[in-house]
Structure 1
């Protein structure tokens, strides 16, 4: 069971909203809208995806990493390394 299972519907709803935003951006480009307006919408979609990512990361830390830490040993080390790599990817983007 994944850490986000309890919040799955909310995550899916957010992702559908992001999907709609991205389709809207494509339509703006197709309609030759002003570039600053398109960039504003790209920024909004990016922030929405970042919010989803941070929520997933929080759930991962609270559920998966916490459970692994309780087990200790290699399991804990693996989950911490996995979380650190995910954080590094988020920071780079």
Structure 2
């Protein structure tokens, strides 16, 4: 596993802990704004992890595909993925 994937994994594990904390906050009846702020923080961490994964993908998988004249397929994958991100 390369460094970018290791960083993404750590971010995902951290966000998992945050989500577990958010669930406990809800169960304990904590203040809604505090819960919402924690949800925003977890979302930001998930976005960061996604960007790390995509960066790794571009630097390795997409680059390798271009070296093998298969870049068009990878470009379409990225466009499809970006459309999901942008549509949100």
Is the TM-score greater than 0.5?
A: yes
Structure 1 residue 12, shift from structure 2 partner: 2.1
Q: Across the two proteins, how many residue pairs are aligned to each other? A: 87
Equivalent residue for 1:53? 50
Structure 1: tracts of 5 or more residues without a match:
none
Query: What is residue 29 of structure 1 aligned with on the other side?
Result: 26
Q: CA-to-partner distance for each residue in 1:14-62, whole Å, 9 max, x for gaps?
A: 2111110000000010011111110000000000000000111111111
- Aligned Cα RMSD in Å? 1.3
Does structure 1 residue 83 correspond to structure 2 residue 85?
A: no
Report the 3-state secondary structure (helix = DSSP H, G, I; strand = E; otherwise coil) of the residue aligned with 1:33.
Answer: coil
Three-state SS of the structure 1 residue aligned to 2:10 is: helix
What TM-score, normalized to structure 1? Answer: 0.85
2:65 counterpart residue number: 68
Q: TM-score, normalised by structure 2?
A: 0.89
Is 1:39 aligned to 2:36, yes or no? Answer: yes
How far is 1:6 from its partner? 0.6
